[in-house]
Amino acid sequence: MFFQSLICEPVFIFPILSFIFNIHLNNSLLILIIIFQTFSIFSLQLGKVSPPNFQIGFVSSLISHFFLKESISFSLLFGIFISIIFGYLYILKRKINYYLSNNFKIEFALIFSVLISYFSYISVLLLQYMILKKFKVADSSNFYSLSLFLVLSQVKYFRFGKKVETLLFLVGILIGVICLKLISNSF
């Protein structure tokens, strides 16, 4: 439940983590945030019931990049893999929920369900930590650039229904082009 809430979205959890652990936003972290946040947005567009995998994928990437000092390419890759694993873990949790609610008192099923979520997510994160310690991947800006393109390829899920929507999308692009002047010094 907690992992599904809005506060766990990369854009909202980062300020909290940066405040607690004194993490400063740099371009590498910005790329991580953009990639995982965009995946999360488009998983909503696909009609999924907001699975929490990309939120945890982002936190895993942040841990590996900031705390374990891994390269951004490796952290990104690992975050994406963890997201995929958590997708299946979420499906498994829904199956366990059915077993719990039919075999235990509903109040206990509720508590067990929350506990199982927490422990399964934390144990996978610990497993990730153990794996991370054994592997090293060289850093490359080309890789995370490709990841940004991968995010961009999700545009097809926008589902343009009416002409006015396409028109508004193009107006958005136009405003974006105008605003580029504002960020031209940021990168």
In the bound state with other proteins, the residue whose beta carbon lies nearer, of 126 and 168, is 168
Does position 158 interact with other proteins (CB under 8 A)? The reply is yes
Please, are residues 82 and 123 in contact by the beta-carbon 8 Å criterion? no
Does position 122 interact with other proteins (CB under 8 A)? The reply is no
- Closest to 68 (Cα-Cα) out of 119, 123, 130, 147: 130
Three-class secondary structure of residue 24 per DSSP? coil
Joined together, the tokens standing for residue 100 give 């719990």
Does position 164 interact with other proteins (CB under 8 A)? The reply is yes
Alpha-carbon distance 72 to 162, whole Å?
A: 40
Write out the binding residues for other proteins, residues 77-116 only, by CB under 8 A: 80, 91, 94-95, 97-98, 101, 106-107, 109-110, 113-114
Does position 13 interact with other proteins (CB under 8 A)? The reply is no
In the bound state with other proteins, the residue whose beta carbon lies nearer, of 98 and 126, is 98
In the bound state with other proteins, the residue whose beta carbon lies nearer, of 82 and 109, is 109
Least distance to other proteins, CB of residue 18, Å: 8
Least distance to other proteins, CB of residue 53, Å: 14
Does position 23 interact with other proteins (CB under 8 A)? The reply is no
Does position 130 interact with other proteins (CB under 8 A)? The reply is no
3-state secondary structure 45-104: HCCCCCCCHHHHHHHHHHHHHHHCCCCHHHHHHHHHHHHHHHHHHHHHHHHHHHHHHHHC
Alpha-carbon distance 58 to 93, whole Å?
A: 20
Rg (CA), the chain: 19
Write out the binding residues for other proteins, residues 25-84 only, by CB under 8 A: 25, 30-31, 33-34, 37-38, 40-41, 44-45, 47, 49-50, 73, 80
